[in-house]
Structure 1
């Protein structure tokens, strides 16, 4: 499993619109091959900051299967105008997991 992370800074005053658009865009990403799950986290301390976490089977599922698809153009149309600056996207692989994490929260 690969974890895609994107730190999103949404333009001031557009947070509600962004969240609505993200809900619509979620159907796009969740339909792609290799997609496992995703979540959007809203920052408590800084209004307009979000963290997007997407789990993919492989990095190619994200970089080729999603990013090079026709559906990605619709994803961009729905979401990219909200960001300033444009987000940095990175990919991670699990090294370890510890702690008291509810079973339904752990991705295997």
Structure 2
């Protein structure tokens, strides 16, 4: 049985950058940032909305707003959601590739 509540954590690169947070803060429209934060709040409550697997243990949450925003995440424990990266439909393939590299790095460091 999956937990009802999840802790959201950010992936941090070896140089100290936080790709997901950096992406979110670069979004100029406050309404867009608010919609994404609401989606994150829902994830923390166990509501993963319109999410699908993108392989290698990673998932993509589709946010039906604007250019089709995406949140890439993975489960880093029973109740931990690791936020890897964000993007939109136009950069989807590139974003998935970057997020997969972040996920591989995280798993390698965790061993």
Tell me whether the two structures share a fold, i.e. TM-score over 0.5. Answer: no
TM-score by length of 2: 0.31
More helix by share: 2
Which has the higher Rg, Structure 1 or Structure 2?
A: 1
TM-score normalized with structure 1 length:
0.31
